[in-house]
Amino acid sequence: MGNGVREGPVEFQRDVEPVTARIPAEDNQEKKKVLNSLMSGALAGAVAKTAVAPLDRTKIMFQGGSRADLSPQEAYRLIYHTYLSEGFWSLWRGNSATMVRVIPYAAIQFCAHEEYKQILGNYYGFQGKALTPFPRFIAGSLAGTTAAMVTYPLDMVRARMAVTPKEMYSSIVHVFIRISREEGLKTLYRGFTPTILGVIPYAGLSFFTYETLKKVHAEHSGKAQPSPPERLLFGACAGLIGQSASYPLDVVRRRMQTAGVLGHTYSSILLTMQEIVREEGLIRGLYKGLSMNWVKGPIAVGISFTTFDLTQILLRKLQHGPGLER
């Protein structure tokens, strides 16, 4: 009417920002975190295992047989004999199968460890802080168990390729086909129980030791992050402790995995242990190759943990810029 008031739709200012607008960003951040862990873990496993592949194959050959304990001198002679009879690259025989297993195994294990740490941290109220010792051990054990359950058949294939002549199995796929036809699909999980029983103390103590040493270092040095050589040292200590604690079960696992091609029949963990001890003795049997593991294990675990941490730091810097470290 001429009163100066313009009629029309009334707009109200919205003071509340929609909550849903932030959810996709949070989801993307979580996806990036998981992807970073998977990529870092995959690279860590590949680099570490390739570095020690000749020693790894030598250890498996001794664990699967009935020879005496593997001394450094005996390991050198075996490696040299393998080099002369089969060629230089034969020292990495089975490494392709190792990569097929280790890359997903390490990716799953490291990623699962990060997730379990977050879950346990939320449960115990340690968000953003280092876990206490028991949850720290549980996170490592759960991570190792998760990875082992998913990738076990690939570990079985790797063990078979390491102890057999190259004429027997032409490829990874050939191993799967022959085992399935000649021994049955359940053979792919032979030795699974001792594997899980061994992974619990091995992964638990490895992650526990490494995380604990980093925490102690930060408290006493005043530095937020250890240097790469310090990470290698912490990882080496973690590997030494973890593998020493679980080694007898590792021997049992290898014997059960390779029984079909080496003429043995092992039906259970206890019977396998009893036969090994009866034929070879307690120390020479269940701890066969441990001296080699004291060389190989710390190197591999040290490289693995260090590669994972440094790759994580690099990926975070690329995404968010400098200033973010693990």
Q: For 244-282, what is each residue's pLDDT tens digit?
A: 888 888 888 878 877 766 666 666 788 888 888 988 888
Within the chain, all domains assigned CATH 1.50.40.10 are found at: 67-185, 190-299
Q: What is the pLDDT of residue 1?
A: 46
Instruction: Answer whether CATH 3.40.640.10 is correct for domain 190-299.
Output: no
Cβ distance 217 to 234 under 8 Å? yes
Tell whether the model's pLDDT for residue 138 goes beyond 90.
yes
Q: Is the pLDDT of residue 19 over 80?
A: no
The CATH number of 67-185 is 1.50.40.10
**Range scoring the smallest mean pLDDT among 77-81, 239-243, 295-299:** 77-81
Rounded Cα distance, 71 and 75, in Å: 6
- Taking residues 211-237, report their average pLDDT: 93
Question: Picking from 109-113, 137-141, 284-288, 310-314, which range would have the lowest pLDDT averaged per residue?
Answer: 284-288
Q: What is the mean pLDDT of the chain?
A: 81
Per-residue pLDDT, 119: 92
Tokens for 189, please give them: 């999980």
